[in-house]
A and B are shown apart, each in its own frame.
Chain A
Amino acid sequence: MTDLPTVPATPASAEAAPRRLGRRRRRSVQASGTDRVFLALMVGVPTLLVVGLVWLPAVATVILSFASWTGVGDLDTIKWIGTQNYVNVFTIYPPFKPALGHNLIWLAFLFVLPTCFGIFLAVLLDRELRGTRFYQTAFFLPVVLSLALIGFIWQLIYSRDQGLLNAVLNTQIDWYGDSRWNLWAVLVAAGWKHAGYIMLLYLAGLKGVDPSLREAAAVDGASPARTFFSVVFPVMRPINIIIIVVTVIEALRAFDIVWVINKGTNGLELISTLVTANVVGEASRIGFGSALATIMLAISLVFITIFLWTVMRGEQQ
């Protein structure tokens, strides 16, 4: 019935399994000396790296956001100015509001178009049509490319004088240079990659759905669309959560593609590009850039909190 090779379960092992499980809970794991060292290294080294390269710099960033520093000189050249950086970001820094808006537009766009389109493609490909391997490869290929490369590739389509789009539409629009259009042009390019990614994740999830559910729905007389929305979609809950998380991460992480086009100016501002422009290079406004980065962290924390709450609540149920 299933397409997975299975080992017929014997009644003995089925009985023993729960008992063994129960026993394991009551007694601590008996690990030998070498095993303990092994375990310590396997857990310790990645933990050290994560704490040292991710947590400590994040905490340092938050602390530095209350300071004014050029990054030159010892730590005693740091001037502590309280929340002045945040006040400046919100009141007198013109690129901030557009950047915030663009990040939110990026998030909304990725949810509405590429994610739904990716799910749609996955559902279609799950029907095992002829040439499904070819389609899967074709849709997945953009995922393999880096976003910077995607920016370059779409430049050929968006180029003002030699691009495909202007040739087909007979227009003279500078798609990357005109701030009315360039965000949407970039979103289409980024969504092209994102749809393939979502398609693959969803397809993998669909393969794990028990076919007997679909058959039961067919017997009850449900149309394919009804089957999907009422039967398959709720069963795919873990995959759905993963899709949401991946989309949020990709939206907040957006940086390479706009940096490669015009360093995040003229309609392509994002908070990540503002952080980079302020911290990296000669500008070296460490405190100000750290304040922008902390704001980014706060936005991410909102989503992380929602996600954790959903997952914890799901586990309790």
Chain B
Amino acid sequence: MSRPRSESEYLARLIPPSAAVGGLSRRGFLKGTLGAGAAVSLSSILAACGGGDDGGGSGSGSKEVTFGSNQSDPVPKKAYAEMTSMFQKSSGLTVKTNTVEHETFQENINNYLQGNPDDVFTWFAGYRMQFFASQGLAGDISDVWGGLSGMSEALKAASTGEDGKQYFVPLTTYPWGLFYRKSVWQEKGYQPPKTMDELVTLAKQMQKDGLVPIAFADKDGWPAMGTFDQLNLRINGYQFHIDLMAGKQAWDSPQVKKVFDTWRELLPYHQTDALGREWQEAARALQKKQAGMYLLGMFVGEQFPEDQRDDLDFFTFPEIDPAVGTGAIEAPIDGVMMRADPKNEDGAKQFLKFTGTAEAENVLLKTNNTVIGASTEADASNYTGLQKKAAEFIGSAESIAQFLDRDTRPDFASTVMIPGLQTFIKNPNDVDGLTKSLEKQKKSIFTS
């Protein structure tokens, strides 16, 4: 076999004899592929068009209200389904619920609201709600609020936009606090601390007893915001905290530095390696009696088996400055809003009015006992001991904050605060550098 003398000779030799004669020509093969590809893409385009119409255009009658929900976990999903069916029976309208996975719903909220959102959708109170209201993406429901009862002034304030109109109807809420297992504390003889010094003493005692004093997890970035908020509320008060969230106070002010310095003193009593741990794992450490207490929302009960949830109790974050006291708490509120220009405005407002009643909240609370109803008229007779305590706790609070990522701009919370707090946990000694960086970034975002 001689070597090929040219490129074409080399290529010609590569064709096996069986393929050289007759059969499918290259042209024919390509034509066939193009035809098949066109057929497939055409059918899929038609299907997509059809699907789009189904999703978007069916709310044209005045009999239907569309409802976008982020309650994707089975228990809340069932609860919301029962609530909407109750509304359908009493009003004669139909509610079409579109449930999207919880995290996905939040991540896509910008596109969702600017595209073709449902008439009513689930969301959170606080700045997060005001942000969209000020962009003109939410509908004014002040007239619905006129007919609601059982909502405290704090709830109304959390539902009001920057222009003084209401845009949000609260449904459920839950407090943040230091949760612990009653049985463990009774056994070891611990008492809930009332001041910071008592907390440190208790932590030292827990360490001697072989427990991790305070469980801690910050892999997702947001749990550490809870600790920051509680410390800021206790050291500097509710008004400073809200102003700081609104960008009106400086992050490198001595008040904020004091918060970080206090946190640094408490860090040795927290679980180590928090940046690799998710909150569910820390909650399980509490449940397995490895940790003494955990600063989290009432949803920590989700990680406890049903029969152990009675063992859960909580106390408010201890007082640090007697002049400030413990009147400020954190209780994020979940609820519903109406889109701007809904297809069925009357129906949407009827639905919103219904969700603000005690009956609607009672249906939701029947299945989910890790939250409590926002309205004071919600039926508390079926509440567990923990829920009763939570209701009384929230009802008697002087001021209610929503949580850092709901009280401030979402871009500041996720792109600045999450890395910033994680940097602090890794290196708590450089408070000056950290606060200076936070302030510079805050200025660049809030003035943009």
Binding site for B on A (CB under 8 A): 1-2, 4-9, 13-14, 17-18, 21, 38, 41-42, 68, 70-73, 79, 81, 84, 88, 92-95, 160, 174, 176-179, 262-263, 265-266, 277-278, 280-285, 287-288
Given contacts A92-B437, A94-B423, A265-B221, contact A283 B411 (CB under 8 A): yes
Which residues of A lie under 8 Å from residue B444 when comparing CB positions?
A: 84, 88, 92
For the complex formed, measure the closest distance between the CB of B407 and the CB atoms of chain A, giving whole angstroms. Answer: 14
Q: Which residue of A lies closest to B412 (CB)?
A: A283
A17 to B440, CA, bound (A): 71
Q: In the complex the two chains form, is A71's CB within 8 Å of B110's CB?
A: yes
Contacting residue for B219 out of A81, A262, A285, CB 8 A: A262
Q: In the complex the two chains form, is B20's CB within 8 Å of A7's CB?
A: yes
For the complex formed, measure the closest distance between the CB of B413 and the CB atoms of chain A, giving whole angstroms. Answer: 8
Q: In the complex the two chains form, is B34's CB within 8 Å of A177's CB?
A: no
Q: In the complex the two chains form, is B448's CB within 8 Å of A174's CB?
A: no
A70 to B135, CA, bound (A): 10
Q: In the complex the two chains form, is A283's CB within 8 Å of B9's CB?
A: no
Q: In the complex the two chains form, is B13's CB within 8 Å of A94's CB?
A: no
A298 to B369, CA, bound (A): 53
Given contacts A9-B13, A283-B415, contact A177 B114 (CB under 8 A): no
A41 to B113, CA, bound (A): 37
The 7 closest A-B pairs by CB, nearest first: A177-B276, A6-B13, A282-B410, A17-B8, A174-B276, A281-B107, A283-B411
For the complex formed, measure the closest distance between the CB of B439 and the CB atoms of chain A, giving whole angstroms. Answer: 10
> Taking the complex as formed, is B266 at the interface, i.e. its CB lies under 8 A from any CB of chain A?
no
Which residues of B lie under 8 Å from residue A2 when comparing CB positions?
A: 1
Q: In the complex the two chains form, is B437's CB within 8 Å of A265's CB?
A: no
Given contacts A7-B20, A94-B437, A178-B273, contact A282 B5 (CB under 8 A): no
Which residues of A lie under 8 Å from residue B113 when comparing CB positions?
A: 72
For the complex formed, measure the closest distance between the CB of A83 and the CB atoms of chain B, giving whole angstroms. Answer: 13
Q: How large is the interface on B (under 10, 10 to 19, 20 to 34, 35 or more residues)?
A: 35 or more
Which residues of A lie under 8 Å from residue B16 when comparing CB positions?
A: 5, 7
Which residues of A lie under 8 Å from residue B219 when comparing CB positions?
A: 177, 262, 266
Q: Provide the B402-419 mask, 1 if CB < 8 A to any CB of A, else 0.
A: 000000001100110011
30 A-B residue contacts at CB 8 Å?
A4-B13, A4-B14, A6-B13, A7-B13, A7-B15, A7-B17, A7-B20, A8-B13, A14-B9, A17-B8, A17-B12, A18-B6, A21-B8, A38-B34, A42-B30, A71-B114, A72-B113, A73-B114, A73-B136, A79-B448, A92-B441, A92-B444, A178-B276, A265-B275, A266-B275, A266-B426, A280-B107, A281-B414, A283-B410, A285-B445
Given contacts A14-B6, A73-B135, A282-B110, contact A1 B422 (CB under 8 A): no
Which residues of A lie under 8 Å from residue B5 when comparing CB positions?
A: 14
Given contacts A13-B12, A265-B221, A283-B415, contact A38 B441 (CB under 8 A): no
Q: In the complex the two chains form, is A282's CB within 8 Å of B107's CB?
A: yes
Contacting residue for A9 out of B4, B137, B411, CB 8 A: B4
Given contacts A18-B6, A92-B441, A283-B414, contact A72 B12 (CB under 8 A): no
Q: Provide the B213-245 mask, 1 if CB < 8 A to any CB of A, else 0.
A: 000000111000000000000000000000000
Q: In the complex the two chains form, is A94's CB within 8 Å of B12's CB?
A: no
Contacts across chains A and B counted by CB atoms under 8 Å: 125
For the complex formed, measure the closest distance between the CB of B225 and the CB atoms of chain A, giving whole angstroms. Answer: 14
A-B contact sample (10 more), CB < 8 A, given A9-B12, A283-B415:
A2-B1, A4-B14, A14-B6, A17-B6, A92-B444, A174-B273, A177-B275, A277-B414, A283-B411, A288-B415
Which residues of A lie under 8 Å from residue B110 when comparing CB positions?
A: 70-72, 281-282, 284
Given contacts A92-B437, A92-B444, contact A6 B106 (CB under 8 A): no
> Taking the complex as formed, is B204 at the interface, i.e. its CB lies under 8 A from any CB of chain A?
no
Which residues of A lie under 8 Å from residue B34 when comparing CB positions?
A: 38, 41-42
Given contacts A7-B12, A7-B20, contact A282 B414 (CB under 8 A): yes
Q: In the complex the two chains form, is A285's CB within 8 Å of B411's CB?
A: yes
Given contacts A72-B137, A278-B415, A283-B415, contact A38 B6 (CB under 8 A): no
For the complex formed, measure the closest distance between the CB of B218 and the CB atoms of chain A, giving whole angstroms. Answer: 9
Q: Which residue of B lies closest to A13 (CB)?
A: B12
Q: Provide the B86-126 mask, 1 if CB < 8 A to any CB of A, else 0.
A: 00000000000000000000111110011000000000000
Q: In the complex the two chains form, is A282's CB within 8 Å of B273's CB?
A: no
Which residues of A lie under 8 Å from residue B136 when comparing CB positions?
A: 73
Which residues of A lie under 8 Å from residue B275 when comparing CB positions?
A: 177-179, 265-266
Binding site for A on B (CB under 8 A): 1, 4-6, 8-9, 12-17, 20, 30-31, 34, 106-110, 113-114, 128, 135-137, 219-221, 273, 275-277, 410-411, 414-415, 418-420, 422-423, 426, 437, 440-441, 444-445, 448
For the complex formed, measure the closest distance between the CB of A155 and the CB atoms of chain B, giving whole angstroms. Answer: 11
Q: Which residue of A lies closest to B16 (CB)?
A: A5
Q: Which residue of A lies closest to B37 (CB)?
A: A45
A203 to B225, CA, bound (A): 52
Which residues of A lie under 8 Å from residue B1 when comparing CB positions?
A: 1-2, 6
Q: In the complex the two chains form, is B14's CB within 8 Å of A266's CB?
A: no
Q: In the complex the two chains form, is B418's CB within 8 Å of A265's CB?
A: yes
Which residues of A lie under 8 Å from residue B273 when comparing CB positions?
A: 160, 174, 177-178
Which residues of B lie under 8 Å from residue A8 when comparing CB positions?
A: 13
For the complex formed, measure the closest distance between the CB of B34 and the CB atoms of chain A, giving whole angstroms. Answer: 7
Q: In the complex the two chains form, is B422's CB within 8 Å of A265's CB?
A: yes
For the complex formed, measure the closest distance between the CB of B213 and the CB atoms of chain A, giving whole angstroms. Answer: 20
Q: In the complex the two chains form, is B441's CB within 8 Å of A93's CB?
A: yes
Which residues of A lie under 8 Å from residue B441 when comparing CB positions?
A: 88, 92-93
Q: Which residue of B lies closest to A285 (CB)?
A: B411
Q: In the complex the two chains form, is B109's CB within 8 Å of A282's CB?
A: yes
Q: Which residue of B lies closest to A264 (CB)?
A: B419
A104 to B149, CA, bound (A): 60
Which residues of B lie under 8 Å from residue A18 when comparing CB positions?
A: 6, 8
Which residues of A lie under 8 Å from residue B114 when comparing CB positions?
A: 71-73
For the complex formed, measure the closest distance between the CB of B406 and the CB atoms of chain A, giving whole angstroms. Answer: 11
A154 to B14, CA, bound (A): 43
Contacting residue for B106 out of A21, A92, A281, CB 8 A: A281
A271 to B219, CA, bound (A): 19
For the complex formed, measure the closest distance between the CB of A159 and the CB atoms of chain B, giving whole angstroms. Answer: 10
A49 to B423, CA, bound (A): 43
A278 to B448, CA, bound (A): 15
Q: Which residue of A lies closest to B425 (CB)?
A: A266
Contacting residue for B415 out of A160, A262, A285, CB 8 A: A285
Q: In the complex the two chains form, is B411's CB within 8 Å of A284's CB?
A: yes
Q: Which residue of B lies closest to A79 (CB)?
A: B448
Contacting residue for B422 out of A13, A174, A266, CB 8 A: A266
Q: Which residue of B lies closest to A176 (CB)?
A: B276
Given contacts A174-B276, A176-B276, contact A277 B12 (CB under 8 A): no
Which residues of A lie under 8 Å from residue B9 when comparing CB positions?
A: 9, 13-14, 17
A94 to B436, CA, bound (A): 11
